[in-house]
Structures are given as structure tokens and as C-alpha cells.
Chain A
Amino acid sequence: MSNQDLATHDPAAWRDGFRTGLPTLFGIGAWGVVVGVAMIKSGLTVPQALGMTLLVFAGSAQLAALPLIAANAPVWVIFVTALVINLRFVIFSVLLAPHFASLPWHKRLGLGFVSGDISVALYLQRYPDPAPAPGKVSFLKGLLYPNCAAWQIGSIIGIFLGNAVPTDWGLGFAGTLAIVCILVPMVASKPALCGVLVAAVVSVLAADLPYKLGLLAAVVVGMVTAMIVEETGDKWRARREQDSKATHV
């Protein structure tokens, strides 16, 4: 397939991506509200908070930066913290980049910048194979753009509501619930379930690590666990098949 076909706008695929992501937009928006409120409550001015949400678009990195700003931490510490929190996106991009290698660089730059956790997970469920397929780019855009818009609208609402929203409403919990829904179908296989459980435990145990390294540690340990479980399972299956062959001979 030519690059042209891959990049051609496919309205049906775009709508498909939009419908796939639609149920998550509510949770994303609520999460955005929380981050918006948090920025104002931590003492940022409205222009600063707007600048942060429009330029950064990375909720967990923003939330982690706020106490560091309040504590007058050096810029490089905040920078390193944000890098570490976002390192999982390097892993995501390793998975996604081969799908879109033929797009012009500025499109790849833009699509990469607006890719969020939930969108990446939903995209890879639909298109696990990196081979070019018609409608892929449009499907991804149908996921990413509304996701980004929901986040920004939520953030901006949060910024202007500022101190009016009590934190104990726990609006951010809606974002957590959206992720819960996406995770349930993803843990259908035994290796994935083991990986997810181990990642969850590690993220809780390592929550206090500096630079939020706990998140990265959880992803890496979870992945390795899933791989080990998968390979052990394969070995057992191979041995069982051999045994049954041996008995039938």
C-alpha cells in the first residue's frame, strides 16, 4: 500500500475511533477538571495554569510537578521527574511508531505528542499488527483528537472553577474508573493478568520512590512477569504435547 492510502482521511474509520473512545471521554474530562483545579489550588495564576495545560498535556506529570513547584524544587528535578513519569510513552511509541513510519515527520511528531495512555491501549487492541492497513491513521485520530479535546476542556473548566470544586468530591476517580473498564478486557490471558497484578503491587510498594520512578518500575517488572508467565506456559504446553505424542506412538 502507498503512503497516500495510509494517510488518506477515512471518515468511517475516524468515526469508528471516535465511538471506541467515546465512553472514556467522560472520565478523561473529569480527570482534566481535577488537574485544572489542582493547578489553581497549588497557587498557579490563571494564565500559568492555562499555559501549562495547553503546552504540556500530560496529566500525571503536571500533578507531580505541582508540589515540586510549591516546594521551590530546582527546574532540572521537575524536568527529570516529568521525563521519568512519561517514559512509558517511549515504550508506547516503540509499539505505535512502526504502524506510522511512512507518515511525514511533522505528522508523526504531532500524533506522538497527543497520544495518551487510554488511546494507545484502545488503538493496539484494534490494530495489534503494525502492517499498513487502510483507515489506521483515521482511527487513531478519531481516538486521539477527541481525547485531547476532552482533556483540555476539562482542564480549562477546572482552572476557572478553581477553588469552587471541593477536592473531596473525588472527581478524578472517574478517570480511574475509565481505566478500570479498559483494563478488564485486556487481562483476558493469564500472562497479561499476572503482569497487571504484579505491576499494580509494585506501583503501590514503590509509590514513594523519587522522581516517581515507581510507575516505571511497575511497568518494567509487570512486563517481565507477563513474559515469563507466557514462556513458562509455552514450555509446559510443548512438553504436554510431546508427552501425549509419546504415549500415542
Chain B
Amino acid sequence: MSDLEIWIVIIALAIATALTRSSFWLVGHKVTIPPRVQEMLRYAPSCALAAIIAPDLLLDGAGTVHLDLGNARLIAGIASVAWFAWRRRMLETIIFGMLIFTALRLLHLYQ
């Protein structure tokens, strides 16, 4: 793509972000959402977070699912859940998880 085309793409991306993020904040009070739908939407944030991380934990670069011990991300992810459940400290968990992940990767234990 040419420089101009890339800038057009960047503007298009900015518009897409603004449309999805802000539109309902602007017009939301004029729209009534049925209570049933509202109830269901309460689960949206947790489902979205799960949908964001699951592919990172389970898929490799080629899009193949890895549910085995060879998957360093999955192992480090599970270890982090355990660590967080025990310690309840987020930053500590992130550092712990990164150390496990890096150790597994460097040692090539599972490859």
C-alpha cells in the first residue's frame, strides 16, 4: 500500500473504533433495552475477556489447537490461575506466569 492508502486505513480504523466505542454512549439513553437482554449482557464482559485470551492460550501460530504439555502458554496460564487463586495479587501473578512461560520456552522442555 502507498503512504496515502495506509493513512486512509488508519482513519478508517479510527472511525471504526469511535463508532463502536462511543455511539451508544451518545444515543444510549434514547434507546430502551429489554430487561431480559440487559440481564444477559451482564455476562458480556467476562465472555469477551475469555474469547480474547482463549486463542492465545490454546492455538499456535498456524491455528492448531494444543491441549498437551507441549503448550508453554497453556501450562503457564494454568499455573497463573493457581497462583492468583492462592495469592490474589495480579502483578505478582503476571510476573510468575511470565517466568514460567519463559523458563518453559528457554528450556525447550516440552519441544
Contacts and interface: CB of A to CB of B under 8 A. Distances in A.
A33 interface: no
Contacts of A182: 49, 90
B84 to A, nearest CB: 5
A145 to B, nearest CB: 15
B16 A82 contact: yes
Interface string B41-76: 111111111111111111100010100000001001
A176 B6 contact: no
Q: Classify chain A's interface size.
A: 35 or more
B5 A75 contact: yes
A233 interface: no
Interface stretch (A2-10, A112-120, A154-162, A241-249): A112-120
Contact of A223 (B40, B65, B84): B40
Interface string A113-154: 101011011001000100000000000000000000000000
Interface residues of B, number: 68
A222 B59 CA distance: 19
A108 B26 CA distance: 6
B26 A226 contact: no
A124 B20 contact: no
Interface in B4-48: 5-26, 28-29, 33, 38-48
Nearest to A88: B48
A227 B40 contact: yes
Interface of A: 22-24, 26-27, 44-45, 48, 51-52, 55-58, 60-62, 65, 69, 72, 75, 78-79, 82-83, 86-98, 100-101, 105, 108-109, 111-113, 115, 117-118, 120-121, 124, 128, 168-170, 172-174, 176-184, 186-187, 191-192, 195-204, 207-208, 214-215, 218-219, 222-224, 226-227, 230
